[in-house]
Amino acid sequence: MEAQRSSNARNYQKELDRILGQLTAPPRLMLHSCCAPCSSYVLEYLRRYFEITVFYYNPNISMEAEYRKRVAEQKRLIAAYNEMADSGYPIAVVEGDYEPEAFYAAAKGLEQCPEGGERCFACYALRLRKTAELARQSGQDYFATTLTISPLKNAAKLNEIGERLAEEYQVPWLPSDFKKKNGYKRSIELSAEYGLYRQNYCGCVYSVKRFSKRPKDAR
């Protein structure tokens, strides 16, 4: 409930709409992606405005076989989008290192935190920091993440971390709450259309213990 109240304090979708309305040429966007299903709507939506590089960096995925399955789906979706005519700018993809040890280091001391709490916030920061670093190194105009599309992720905290890293790395953060405008619903439709593998847990050892209790498609 607290996450929902704080995410309503600012309307990140309206902030994004204002930025999109002011664009005169396609900027370069480094977009962190957590998985193909979550990126499906975000890419459909943003590729009309940005030259996007998808950065697939998710060290929270504890099992390598699961990681490989998800990254393959991400690349398959991007290839399918790039084959479509007149639907937006071509999408590039960069696969980050698979380094679960980085996640365990970030989660150290937070193992007993409830899901959606401080351990998850540390995970957000780990992935967004790598995204900001790469955006700075490659001269991107903005960086963002697909994570805000999930009803189970704290959009306010993600935007807070992104804004802090934007100051540190001097790359503008693209605010978002992609679940707005039926974004999450559209991601489910696109996942069905492309036959995407949809997992029902984020990937870490802490969420996998609970995944059997969750409804399918809730991440």
CATH of the domain at 63: 3.40.50.620
Q: What is the pLDDT of residue 195?
A: 97
pLDDT tens string 102-125: 999 999 998 788 887 899 999 999
| C-alpha span between 160 and 138 (Å, rounded) | 23
> In a 10 Å sphere around its CB, with 0-12 CB exposed, 13-18 middle and 19+ buried, how is residue 180 labelled?
middle
Q: What is the pLDDT of residue 199?
A: 83
The reported pLDDT for the residue numbered 209 is: 63
Q: For position 210, what pLDDT does the model report?
A: 60
> Is residue 218 domain-resident?
no
Full-model pTM: 0.91
Residue 193 lies in a domain: yes
113 within 8 A of 106, measured Cβ to Cβ: no
Please report whether residue 69 resides in a domain.
yes
Q: Is residue 219 part of a domain?
A: no
Q: Label the pairing between strands 51-56 and 28-33.
A: parallel
Name the domain count of the chain.
1
State the helix-helix crossing angle for 155-169 and 118-137, rounded to 10 degrees. 40
In which domain, by residue range, is 86 found?
2-213
Q: Is 20 among the domain residues?
A: yes
CA–CA–CA angle 195, 199, 201 (5° rounding) = 165
In a domain, 135, yes or no: yes
Whole-number pLDDT of residue 214 = 45
Give every residue of the chain whose pLDDT is below 70, as ranges: 1-8, 209-219
Query: CB-side exposure of 102: number of CA atoms within 13 Å?
Result: 16
Instruction: Check residue 215 and give its pLDDT.
Output: 46
